[in-house]
Amino acid sequence: MSQFLETIAILNKIPQHLEYHQKRMKTCSVVKIEPFLQSISVVTNKLYKLSVVYNETQIEKYQLIPYQPNQINRFKIVINNEIDYSYKYADRSQIDQLRSKKGICDDIVIVKNDEVTDCSFANLLFFDGDKWITTENPLLEGTCRARLLDQDLISIQKISVNQLQSFSKMMLINAMLDFDEKRAIQISPKTFVF
């Protein structure tokens, strides 16, 4: 039986964007997340990361920890044309294996069939001087990405690895890292290592 992972931000004791998490969970499981969340106790108003491991029928385990983002500025370009992470599997060994190639970089950008996909833990946004765009074929269609697309804050575009240096800024987004231009990474010749 497959195990899946859902990561939910809890801010000021309130789970964030549950409808998007439930929609994704519904694609692979009958688990309803809201009743489970009522059993979770958060004692402070800090930002927490709730990681839920579940299968097709039930929640197996969870972890709740305070969240502090890492500083990410430099990416190793890693090519893998076979990787499949179309569901948010709890088994991240394929991604971990690719991330082990990052060397002195902070993280990786995974390229599949000459297209930019994601980094090891987030969807990617790029600023072209006019608008924020996301990759046409991410490894995982994240909940934050889906919400930003629904709100027309970002648009979709096929991005080849050769286009990376043409953008002025990039941003990592996921359930814990919401859209915030203050978090944008300025792209320089040192941002991507090939």
Average pLDDT of span 16-39: 95
Using an 8 Å Cβ cutoff, are 129 and 168 in contact? Answer: yes
Q: Are 53 and 62 in contact (CB under 8 A)?
A: yes
Long-range contacts of 47-51 (CB under 8 A, 24+ apart): 47/9, 47/10, 47/11, 47/176, 48/9, 48/10, 48/11, 49/7, 49/8, 49/9, 49/10, 49/176, 50/7, 50/8, 50/9, 50/10, 50/15, 51/5, 51/6, 51/7
- pLDDT for the residue numbered 52: 97
**pLDDT, tens digit, for every residue of 43-94?**
888 999 999 999 999 999 999 999 999 999 999 999 999 999 999 999 999 9
Residue-level pLDDT at 42: 85
pLDDT tens per residue across span 100-127 = 999 999 999 999 999 999 999 999 999 9
Percent of the residues in the chain that have a pLDDT greater than 70, as a whole number: 100
Structure-model confidence comparison of residues 1 and 138, the more confident one = 138
- Rounded to the nearest integer, the mean pLDDT of the chain is 96
Is residue 150 over pLDDT 90? Answer: yes
Q: Read off the pLDDT band of 41 (50, 70, 90).
A: confident
Paired residues of 19 in beta bridges: none
pLDDT on residue 43: 80
Does the pLDDT at position 10 exceed 90? yes
Phi, psi of 131 (to 5 degrees): -145, 160
Confidence of residue 1 (pLDDT cuts 50, 70, 90): confident
